């Protein structure tokens, strides 16, 4: 077994019982076993889910909040910088865990591990100003006004498997900065990466209860978010799960819920596109992380004048993709496997959906010959003459390495294609005409709209979130901090001149 899980983390320590046999643990806990998606014979870890810990973790977070909310921003900042130092020293270890748990190539996993530490700087430099207290002098005669930001309370961060450290870390740091305690509930598929992240917070010396980790299932999540003491719920994942979170919270107005959901993302290639530039950008958009990014490009609206040349060059580039084990490889892979067997089944089902709904497959790559048996799939490219809202193939999120070209004649038609799905996360337009780009900015219903750049790889210094079914208008990244605070107004005067006789309507 590659890794050892230490159990849930609360009250400043991990809870795995010392001196208790594995048999005793298995009798009291639900067991989850994780194998590497890149090598199904490589056992990574066993997890033992103890549902009795949920209430203990919540109590720990409540206690931690009472301590943390009273700390100054300077004290919080000091500990966040200490966390950064420790996470930097563990970058290689974190990257290896991410690679083995998710199947992402090591070079890509190292990028994510590096983003964990870089996020501290972004949070302190760019997010902090958004939540500073403000004073407005003479807001009324002889009265000053104050705008005060207060932490909302114990908060749950529900992390995704595709970026098990980076995405959750951004939400955790924003909430910590403003004085909230955190319960981190990672994906069941990437528990060890999450543990390494929490180890860094532990070694940095955060007070007991400020950082908490709970490994669990849907049952764990539901119990957490329904608890009345939980005030923040920050989730990154699928539309279906996002809806279940909203259903569980219901009419509880005391909770802040911020959802980052899926996408059916479109790239527009206008007639003046620089094709040699667009092809590598499309490779990133469609196939990085084996297409398992919420911002991955799924539909490619290509102008009819450049359609044949661009598709041919893109096909030839896609044929060059190396697919292999993320760490043990002869040549550096562009793609690893998808996360699990369910992801393979979903991908194959999507390809069947394409076939049934008029999409023609124009690239069927051979199955990769890998050293190990794993959840490997190949990139595929389709072509369809017209994108219609009634066609389920143009509606469903793929979350796999597939894209589909659809031709268009004018930019208005391309914008229609971009808006055809019920998602609205990311879009890109490739053109040398700034007026075309400005038209896309105005009319495309999406939270991210890029010019001459892929839909993946957003900046942490900008808001990250979508519209329609891609979120609930609470974008993450730099603006994540906005949802970790409540706003209090205060009127202040030192003028003690009020007199009862100044009031009207009183008897003499």
CA triple 178-181-185, angle to 5 deg: 120
Strands (E), 142-244: 143-151, 155-158, 182-185, 211-213, 232-236
Contact 242, 259 (CB under 8 A): yes
* Catalytically annotated residues: 260, 294
Distance CA 3, CA 46 (A): 8
Q: Return the structure tokens found at 462.
A: 């900008």
Measure Cα distances from 71 to 61, 67, 211, 222, 282 in Å. Answer: 15, 7, 15, 30, 46
Q: Is the dihedral of CA 390, 456, 413, 317 positive or negative?
A: negative
CA angle 438, 466, 291 (to 5 degrees): 100
In three-state secondary structure terms, 213 is strand
Rg, Å, the chain Cα set: 25
Residue 295's alpha-carbon distances to 28, 238, 285, 292, 399, in angstroms, are 40, 12, 8, 9, 9
Q: How many CB atoms lie within 10 A of CB 180?
A: 25
Are 3 and 97 spatial neighbours (Cβ–Cβ below 8 Å)? yes
Q: How many CA atoms lie within 13 A of 441 on its CB side?
A: 9
Distances (CA, A) of 500 to 350, 497, 503: 75, 10, 6
State the residue for tokens 């700087």.
121
Give the distance, in angstroms, between the CA of residue 440 and the centroid of all CA atoms in the same chain.
Answer: 25
Say if residues 403 and 310 touch (Cβ distance below 8 Å).
Answer: no
User: Residue 47: CB partners within 8 Å, gap ≥ 6?
Assistant: 5, 31, 32, 33, 34, 188, 191, 215
């Amino acid at each position: 077994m590659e890794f050892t899980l230490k159990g849930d983390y609360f009250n400043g320590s991990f809870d795995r019982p010392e001196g208790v046999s594995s048999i005793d643990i298995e009798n009291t806990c639900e067991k989850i076993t994780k194998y590497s998606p890149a090598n199904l014979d490589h056992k990574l870890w066993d997890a033992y889910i103890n549902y009795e810990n949920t209430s203990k973790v919540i109590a720990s977070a409540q206690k931690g909040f009472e301590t943390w909310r009273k700390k100054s921003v300077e004290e919080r900042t000091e500990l966040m910088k200490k966390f950064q130092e420790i996470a930097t020293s563990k970058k290689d270890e974190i990257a290896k865990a991410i690679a083995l748990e998710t199947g992402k190539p090591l070079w890509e996993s190292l990028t994510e591990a590096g983003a964990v530490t870089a996020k501290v700087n972004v949070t302190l430099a760019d997010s902090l100003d958004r939540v500073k207290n403000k004073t407005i002098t003479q807001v009324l005669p002889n009265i000053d006004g104050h705008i005060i930001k207060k932490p909302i309370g114990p908060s749950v961060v529900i992390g995704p498997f595709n970026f098990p450290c980076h995405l959750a870390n951004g939400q955790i740091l924003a909430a910590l900065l403003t004085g909230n305690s955190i319960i981190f509930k990672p994906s069941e598929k990437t528990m060890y990466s999450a543990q390494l992240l929490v180890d860094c917070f532990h070694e940095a010396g955060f007070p007991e209860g400020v950082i908490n980790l709970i490994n669990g299932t849907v049952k764990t999540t539901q119990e957490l978010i329904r608890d009345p003491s939980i005030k923040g719920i920050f989730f990154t994942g699928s539309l279906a799960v996002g809806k279940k979170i909203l259903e569980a919270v219901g009419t509880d107005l005391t909770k802040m819920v911020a959802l980052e959901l899926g996408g059916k993302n479109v790239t527009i290639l206008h007639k003046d596109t620089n094709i040699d530039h667009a092809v590598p950008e499309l490779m990133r958009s469609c196939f990085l992380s084996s297409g398992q990014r919420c911002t991955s490009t799924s539909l490619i609206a290509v102008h009819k004048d450049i359609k044949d040349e661009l598709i041919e060059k893109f096909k030839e580039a896609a044929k060059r993709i190396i697919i292999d084990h993320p760490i043990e490889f002869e040549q550096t892979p562009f793609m690893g496997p998808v996360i699990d067997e369910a992801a393979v089944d979903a991908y194959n089902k999507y390809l069947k959906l394409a076939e049934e709904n008029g999409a023609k497959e124009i690239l069927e790559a051979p199955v990769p010959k890998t050293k190990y048996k794993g959840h490997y799939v190949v990139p595929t490219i389709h072509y369809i003459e017209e994108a219609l809202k009634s066609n389920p193939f143009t509606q469903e999120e793929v979350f796999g390495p597939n894209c589909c070209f659809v031709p268009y004649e004018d930019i208005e038609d391309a914008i229609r294609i971009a808006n055809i799905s019920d998602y609205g996360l990311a879009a890109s337009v490739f053109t040398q005409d700034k007026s075309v780009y400005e038209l896309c900015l105005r009319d495309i219903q999406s939270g991210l709209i890029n010019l001459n750049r892929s839909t993946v790889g957003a900046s942490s210094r900008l808001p990250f979130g979508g519209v329609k079914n891609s979120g609930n208008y609470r974008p993450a990244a730099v603006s994540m901090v906005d949802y970790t605070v409540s706003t209090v107004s205060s009127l202040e005067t030192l003028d003690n001149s009020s007199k009862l006789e100044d009031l009207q309507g009183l008897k003499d």
